[in-house]
Amino acid sequence: SYHEKAWMRDELWAVSGGGRDTFGGWAATLIDALDNLWITELKDEFRPATLTAANINLSTSTDARIKMFETTIRYLGSFLAGLLVTIVARDNCRPRLLKSERCCLLS
């Protein structure tokens, strides 16, 4: 699994089970998974993952050159999605979201 073989690496190599850093070494797979952990109700995994994500130092990188577009959409999108799913759960917006095209966060 990612947690056992490639924790804090950007990608998990499925065949060898190792990991590599392709997005600055900022745990891209972990960040990508935050909203999915919440949606699939893996709350025991979500909390430590968010605490780990909060402690990633984005001011240093394993790469000499950062792919700005890819990195921005990956991290910003994942952080926003993670925030949105937790707000929806906190405010119990799910029933209203299912009934309406308009999100309760905007009302």
- Structural domain total, the chain: 1
pLDDT of residue 103: 54
CA distance 96 to 106: 12
0.85 exceeded by pTM: no
Query: How far apart (Å, rounded) are the C-alpha atoms in residues 45 and 39?
Result: 12
Residue 10: what pLDDT? 92
Which residues are within 8 A (CB) of 58 and not within 5 positions of it... i.e. 6 or more apart? Answer: 24, 26
Q: Which domain holds residue 46?
A: 2-106
Strands (E), the chain: 11-12, 19-20
Q: Are 2 and 12 in contact (CB under 8 A)?
A: yes
Q: Rg for the chain (alpha carbons), in Å?
A: 16
Per-residue pLDDT of the chain (107 residues; tens, 9 = 90+): 888 899 999 999 988 889 999 888 999 999 999 988 988 889 899 889 989 999 999 888 888 888 888 888 889 998 888 888 887 777 776 665 555 555 555 44
